[in-house]
Structure 1
Amino acid sequence: MAPPEPSRDVAPAAVPDPLPRPFWVRNPWVWRVVALGFLSFLVVAAVEEVRSGDPLALKVLVLSLMTAYGAVYLAVLPSEVASYRDARTVAVLGTLGVVLVALLGPDSIGLLMYALVSAATTLPPARAIPVVWVTCAGMLLYTGLVGDGPHWAEVSVYGGTALMLVILMSLRTAVFALREANDEVARLAVADERARLARDLHDVLGHSLTTITVKAALARRLMEAGETARATAEITDVEVLTRQTLADVRSTVSAQRRASLPAELAGSRAVLTAAGIEAVLPQATDEVAEPYREAFAHVLREAVTNVVRHSGARRCEVRLGPSWVEVRDDGSGAVVGSAPGTGIAGLRERLGPLGATVHAGPAPGGGFLLRVSADEPATAVPA
């Protein structure tokens, strides 16, 4: 059977996009095209001014202000997501609009719609909405005092359009924020899967390869001693364990492997015995609560592997409780000041969601103690 293909980093790209972007969002230049078309109202106003009977100096001033007004309007509009501009730039545009309306009279009040649109699309909503309301109120007051009465209908259309643009820009910004969050979730999912795979492979291969090494060494000693039958049995165990390890690796890669506490107890007894370490293990696991059984199986696998590989112990004792497990040996213990290995770190990651704490350190009277408990606060192991 061919080995499973290695994991690749294309998981996020393979996931369908839950927030597809419409054309006008994917291409910000569309906003510029719409803005240019919207300037047609300003062009019409400029043509009317040219045809008017105003003095030449006034025409030149008004046309110059209109040109500056349109240029600032195009410069202010955002070209990227949530690229809110400085309020001072919008204030310059509003000032130009107010001057134009003051020169041309109340019938030109519609020119202020450019200032409203710019405020609605370039200021944060908390600032844009008050600016829209104040501008609309000023437009009504000006047309009421200088003109033939407040232009309710016209100002209502401009104000309503501006407020809808505020909502549209807020939704546009929210969509992009959700997309960024979705990309971050996909990235974290890949990182979590990598961490899970590394942790599970460490558990599987560390324990299994240690057992294979111990049994192979025992078989060699038995062959040297002429005990061919026992050596053959140990080699047969190595063959079975190798096949089981291969199956465990495949199950781990496909996230289908589940650890069994009774099976780990039996395996621990076999590997400790093969290593010449006295195994003091419980006969049953019924006392352990169901939520902790799989996690404690991983704890037992990691602890026994460390005892065989590093401790130099002659005796290893395992104790189980409803929500705790304890593994103690009489070996050389941990080196003072040494950092915990990747196995202990992996246990802490695995047991974190269960609210369990991991205590690892020198045991009273010598040796090493690993205790995992879900009903105790995190305290140092007594030295």
Structure 2
Amino acid sequence: MVGVTSPPDRVRPVNRHWRFTGWLLAAVWLFFLNIPFVTALHQPELWRRVLGLASVIAFGVAYVLIFEWARARRQRHLPIPVGRARALLALLLAIGLVGIPGTGGDWLTTLVFVAAAAVFLLPPVESLVVVALAAATPPVTSRLVPGWEAESTVVFAVLLASFAMFGVSRLAQRNAELQAAQQEIRRLAVAEERARTARDLHDILGHSLTVVAVKAELAGRLLELDPARAATEIADVERLAREALADVRGTVGAYRGVDLASELAGARSALAAAGIVAELPETVPELPTDRDELFGWTVREGVTNAVRHSGARRCVIRVDPAAVEVRDDGRGPAGESAGAGHGLVGLRERAARLDATVTVARAPGGRGFLLRVTVPDTNGRDRG
């Protein structure tokens, strides 16, 4: 009467092993049907003997099949149809009653299995009713049917088996809930990894392709006016395309390292290609690795917005140990509210890991775009 749920991370051969174990544990309890079986075996009349033996065997087979059907549905997190459960219990009871001519009063032993099956199959209230009726049947029938003795052991067995099956069913339910929770955790982990990869690819390619587009446009304008300068810009486009490809490969393979110094150097090149005057810090302060990476992503996002959207003529980047700021004198991302865009969403996600604050606003004076990331100090207050 004990069900076994296989762990979700088992391989197929182990699952077959546990499935066999479940069948075995369901069948071993049928040993208690030996009482009506022996009674039928010693019937003097052949037809009684055959009917009794056939009913006991049919009852045992039906019980095991019903139990395994219900256990399989629980393992797959499927509900047990109440109507079908009632019909199956009625079938068990009918098989037990059919065998009365061959098993006599010992057919009452089958009520133990009917009660246990009811606990496993039916809702709590209905199963409680079935258990009460099964426990009350032996003393009642002993008074109504001559020759049938009041079997107190059957009453005790009904109650004990029902209580045990209640524990087994609750355990099976908890195991199913645990498996569902584990599957959900795995699904969320995969979704988070996909979101991280998509965010990194957007941030990497968005910046690189923006610079490529600006340099290609500049090369097209210079093609007739200054072929040598146009060739230089085309060479830069080729270099940037190769770097973007390397970045994508690095992102697919693992987390791509970003540092502030490299991003400032890239910002100088991108702003110059876009014809934007750049005002950048000469030196970079010593920063923890996680903060250095966050500030690098901030510079990348701010410069990408300045080159792609703003129409700016000047871009200023300020860095100190607690904050980084990118400010231009353009019009900001066209048609986007503050904080919109995949890049800024990804930046906020990265900043949240360090409890940093991301500020997106108009620059002082009402013209221009301001992006600032501020990291709290050790006392939890924002600095800068």
TM-score tier after normalising by the smaller chain length: 0.5 to 0.7
Q: 1:117 to 1:240 in 2, by over 3 A?
A: same
Q: Deviations over 1:14-40 (max 9, x none)?
A: xx962456348769x969x95996896
Q: Distance in 1 between matches of 2:255 and 2:333?
A: 34
Q: Who is 1:271 aligned against?
A: 270
Q: Distance in 2 between matches of 1:39 and 1:174?
A: 28
SS state at 1:284 partner: coil
Q: Distance in 2 between matches of 1:231 and 1:327?
A: 29
Q: Deviations over 1:104-152 (max 9, x none)?
A: 999776343124312442257x879988997999799999x99999956
Q: 1:157 to 1:333 in 2, by over 3 A?
A: same
Q: Who is 1:251 aligned against?
A: 250
Q: 1:218 to 1:132 in 2, by over 3 A?
A: same
Q: 1:26 to 1:71 in 2, by over 3 A?
A: closer
**One-letter amino acid matched to 1:253:** V
Q: Who is 1:187 aligned against?
A: 187
Q: Who is 2:215 aligned against?
A: 215
**One-letter amino acid matched to 1:359:** T
Instruction: For 1:232-381, list aligned pairs within 5 A.
Output: 232-286=231-285, 288-335=287-334, 338=337, 340-364=340-364, 365-375=366-376
Q: 1:374 to 1:164 in 2, by over 3 A?
A: farther
Structure 1 stretch 197-206 or stretch 171-180: which is displaced more? Answer: 171-180
Q: Who is 1:81 aligned against?
A: 73
Aligned-pair distance for 1:313? Answer: 0.3
Q: Distance in 2 between matches of 1:42 and 1:278?
A: 98
Q: 1:85 to 1:47 in 2, by over 3 A?
A: farther
Aligned-pair distance for 1:250? Answer: 0.7
Q: 1:235 to 1:162 in 2, by over 3 A?
A: same
Q: Distance in 2 between matches of 1:209 and 1:373?
A: 28
Please say if residues 277 and 313 of structure 2, whose CA atoms lie closer than 8 Å, have aligned partners that are also in contact.
yes
Aligned-pair distance for 1:368? Answer: 1.4
Please say if residues 280 and 317 of structure 1, whose CA atoms lie closer than 8 Å, have aligned partners that are also in contact.
yes
Q: Deviations over 1:213-252 (max 9, x none)?
A: 3333444555544472x55444443333222222111111
Q: TM-score with structure 1 length normalisation?
A: 0.66
Aligned-pair distance for 1:370? Answer: 1.8
Q: Distance in 1 between matches of 2:33 and 2:298?
A: 74
Q: 1:279 to 1:121 in 2, by over 3 A?
A: same
Q: Which of 10, 22, 27 is the matching residue for 2:15?
A: 22
SS state at 2:332 partner: coil
**One-letter amino acid matched to 1:371:** R
Q: 1:140 to 1:322 in 2, by over 3 A?
A: farther
Structure 1 stretch 262-271 or stretch 290-299: which is displaced more? Answer: 290-299
Q: Distance in 2 between matches of 1:302 and 1:338?
A: 16
SS state at 2:73 partner: coil
Structure 1 stretches lacking a partner, 5+ long? 1-15, 53-65, 377-383
Please say if residues 360 and 370 of structure 2, whose CA atoms lie closer than 8 Å, have aligned partners that are also in contact.
yes
Please say if residues 136 and 155 of structure 2, whose CA atoms lie closer than 8 Å, have aligned partners that are also in contact.
no
Aligned-pair distance for 1:357? Answer: 3.9
Q: Deviations over 1:85-111 (max 9, x none)?
A: 659959x97xx79xx8xxx99977634
Please say if residues 220 and 230 of structure 2, whose CA atoms lie closer than 8 Å, have aligned partners that are also in contact.
yes
Please say if residues 323 and 375 of structure 1, whose CA atoms lie closer than 8 Å, have aligned partners that are also in contact.
yes
Q: Deviations over 1:255-287 (max 9, x none)?
A: 242111110011101111221111122233325
Q: 1:120 to 1:321 in 2, by over 3 A?
A: farther
> Is residue 196 from structure 1 mapped to residue 196 from structure 2 by the alignment?
yes
Please say if residues 112 and 161 of structure 2, whose CA atoms lie closer than 8 Å, have aligned partners that are also in contact.
no
Q: Percent same amino acid at aligned positions?
A: 40
Aligned-pair distance for 1:372? Answer: 2.6
Q: Who is 2:380 aligned against?
A: none
RMSD: 5.2
Q: Distance in 2 between matches of 1:106 and 1:40?
A: 13
Q: 1:285 to 1:168 in 2, by over 3 A?
A: farther
Q: Who is 1:114 aligned against?
A: 113
Q: Distance in 2 between matches of 1:343 and 1:227?
A: 35
**One-letter amino acid matched to 2:355:** G
Instruction: For 1:7-46, list aligned pairs within 5 A.
Output: 18-20=9-11, 22-23=15-16, 34=27, 44=37
Please say if residues 119 and 162 of structure 2, whose CA atoms lie closer than 8 Å, have aligned partners that are also in contact.
yes
SS state at 1:243 partner: helix
Q: 1:243 to 1:111 in 2, by over 3 A?
A: closer
Aligned-pair distance for 1:185? Answer: 3.3
Q: Count residues with an aligned counterpart.
A: 347
Q: Distance in 2 between matches of 1:241 and 1:75?
A: 67
**One-letter amino acid matched to 2:319:** L
Please say if residues 27 and 64 of structure 2, whose CA atoms lie closer than 8 Å, have aligned partners that are also in contact.
no
Please say if residues 306 and 332 of structure 2, whose CA atoms lie closer than 8 Å, have aligned partners that are also in contact.
no
Q: 1:38 to 1:303 in 2, by over 3 A?
A: farther
Please say if residues 295 and 324 of structure 2, whose CA atoms lie closer than 8 Å, have aligned partners that are also in contact.
yes
Q: 1:219 to 1:70 in 2, by over 3 A?
A: closer
Please say if residues 129 and 163 of structure 1, whose CA atoms lie closer than 8 Å, have aligned partners that are also in contact.
no
Please say if residues 334 and 361 of structure 1, whose CA atoms lie closer than 8 Å, have aligned partners that are also in contact.
no
